[in-house]
Amino acid sequence: MKNALKKNFFPIALILPSVILIGTLTIFPIFYNVYLSFYQKHAFLNVQKFVLFSNYTSLLSDAEFWDSFKNGIIYSLSTIFLQIALGLSCALLLNEKFKGRNFFRGALLFPYLIPTIVVVILWKWLLNSSYGLIRYLMEVLHITSEPIVWFSEENIMLTLILVSVWQFFPFVLVTILARLQTIPEELYNAAKVDGASAFSRFIHITLPQLKNVLLTIILLRSIWMFTKFDTVWLLAGSESIGKYIQTLPVYTFRKTFIYLEAGAGAALSVVMLAILLSGTIIYIRAFMNKEDALK
């Protein structure tokens, strides 16, 4: 034992700070979260009451919980689909050689880099029903005659989806593009020699090469869109129309910091975590080999 420690001193010394960091900042909070969920705890005052599973069982009959869950599913699925569609098309385009390509690549990453608050305020300004640029463009292009109220009950979810897709598609774009760049030119050349059309080359060469990246991206984006708080909350979460887009993270936030029920909020986080973990395991088992998943 002593010998092993001596032999491994260097690597252990190097990894120890990392372990401490992850242990205290990531692992411990998760366990503490579970612990909290068994109590009814006031968010500010030091008042608590041990209730074991009652926070969880009350969720089952909580209409707001199921509504938020449903909204979360709608939100994630729509945004992911659109992000992938947009990201993939842009990546395919930017994979071709042309002048100024590098500039476009940098510029298209832009929406992802701006703080969410700036994204949201910018779009609130663009979509403003009275003064917004979008209203003007739609009128000029004769798309609509009546100004659209983007921040209404009926439209708010659509608005949220569009803003989110704008904000996050660059991530998909860059990831797919990076992978596209590693596909050897020879594969395409050989196919061309054999007379394959561009479409056929896409289906039989590009797509299979992209399979792993796409599967990973879909998984990651699903997790992140389902647990996305900032964009949803800042767009309309704290207003009355917020209830039409309330997702689980927003519900968790409100429960903890507005209703001040920290225990209930903790239970919600644990439920979210459970949904994510089970979803991920099922997804990986169904679609990916273990080695690819760990890349």
Which positions from 81 through 100 interact with another protein, judged by CB under 8 A?
86, 89-90, 93-94, 96, 98
Tell me, by CB under 8 A, how many residues bind another protein: 88
Q: Which residues ranging from 185 to 224 are in contact with another protein (CB under 8 A)?
A: 220, 223-224
Phi, psi for 290 (deg, rounded to 5)? -55, -40
Compare residues 9 and 53 and give the one whose CB is closer to another protein. 9
Interface with another protein includes 27 (CB under 8 A)? yes
Contact (Cβ atoms closer than 8 angstroms) between residue 280 and residue 274: no
Tokens of 220: 């990651």
Largest CA distance in the chain: 80
Please give the structure tokens belonging to residue 97. 């050689």
**Are 221 and 83 spatial neighbours (Cβ–Cβ below 8 Å)?**
yes
Among 106, 141, 194, 291, binds another protein (CB under 8 A): 106
Q: How far apart are CA 295 and CA 213, in angstroms?
A: 10
In the set 54, 56, 81, 105, which binds another protein (CB under 8 A)?
105
Q: Tell me the angle at which helices 207-226 and 262-287 cross, rounded to the nearest 10 degrees.
A: 170
Minimum distance from CB of 58 to another protein (Å)?
17
User: Which tokens sit at 284?
Assistant: 């990986």
Q: Which is nearer to another protein, 45 or 154 (CB)?
A: 45
Check if the beta carbon of residue 245 is closer than 8 Å to that of residue 237: yes
Site string for another protein, 137-166 (x = CB under 8 A): -----------------------------x
Point out which span in 49-57, 62-70, 127-135, 186-194 binds another protein (CB under 8 A): 127-135
- Residues from 235 through 254 that contact another protein (CB under 8 A): 249, 252-253
Q: Which span (3-11, 51-59, 60-68, 189-197) binds another protein, by CB under 8 A?
A: 3-11
H/E run at residue 50: strand 48-50
The backbone torsions φ and ψ at residue 45, rounded to the nearest 5 degrees and listed phi first, read: -85, 160
Q: In the complex, what is the shortest distance from the CB of residue 63 to another protein, in angstroms, rounded to a whole number?
A: 22
Cβ atoms of 60 and 145 closer than 8 Å: no
Q: Pick between residue 29 and residue 57 the one whose CB is nearest to another protein.
A: 29
Contact call for residue 11 and another protein (CB under 8 A): yes
Distance CA 260, CA 266 (A): 11
Closer CB to another protein, residue 21 or residue 207?
A: 21
